[in-house]
Amino acid sequence: MSLDEAGRQLEAAIHDARVAFDCIELDDLERAHTNAITARAAVDAAEYALRVEVERRTEEEASQEGESSQESSDSAGSSEELPG
């Protein structure tokens, strides 16, 4: 899943929540209930997509920091003069 998918899921959740609201006003409680469930499922899917992206970025940042600190220690070690 991607951030685009998370956005689509949130749009779907908004739509389903509005339909549920309208169904309540029309006293169509079964349809309201169904749309409330689908809205919640879409929110859950969006949350999952966001969580996956946050974890991916966290791992990527940690990897970049590890490479950066490794390069720093490598360059510090190579700049030392050997006793001669």
pLDDT, tens digit, 9 for 90 and up, residues 63-73: 988 888 777 77
pLDDT of 51 higher than 90: yes
Asked if 16 contacts 38 with a C-beta cutoff of 8 angstroms, the reply is: yes
**Which pLDDT score, from 0 to 100, does residue 69 have?**
78
State how far the Cα of 50 lies from the Cα of 78, in Å rounded to an integer: 42
User: Where are the domains positioned within the chain?
Assistant: 3-72
pLDDT, tens digit, 9 for 90 and up, residues 26-46: 999 999 999 999 999 999 999
**pTM over cut 0.75:** no
**Which pLDDT score, from 0 to 100, does residue 82 have?**
58
pLDDT of 80 higher than 60: no
Other beta carbons less than 10 A from residue 40's beta carbon: 14
